[in-house]
Homo-oligomer: A and B are copies of this chain.
């Protein structure tokens, strides 16, 4: 369960830790694009771009649908939000720390009275 969540988090952050893949995400969030249309935008080989798309797909950041001989990729905004949610969770941990510090300050002030 939690182990699976961690696997998923690993895959999501890893998928986003590459500028080509982040750029692909921008394109497929803006609209559907075939793999070859995407590949045409980068200087690397078609196969390299196809692999990047596969990494994003495995992480759940995009989905593909077939249309004739093309494979149209579309970004999944929900997956992006789930990553944002993980960061929010981290921020909550930080808020807890601040709350505790505030408590400490409050009790110090009490002693000073």
Contact = CB atoms under 8 A, between A and B. Distances in A.
Nearest to A84: B87
Given A13-B17, A19-B9, A75 B94 contact: yes
A17 to B, nearest CB: 4
A84 B88 contact: yes
A52 to B, nearest CB: 14
Interface residue tally on A, bucketed by range = 20 to 34
A56 B100 CA distance: 24
Interface string A85-108: 011101101101100100000000
Main secondary structure of the interface of A (DSSP, over half): helix
B90 A29 contact: yes
A110 to B, nearest CB: 22
Interface of A: 6, 9-10, 13-14, 16-19, 22, 25-26, 29-31, 75, 77, 80-81, 83-84, 86-88, 90-91, 93-94, 96-97, 100
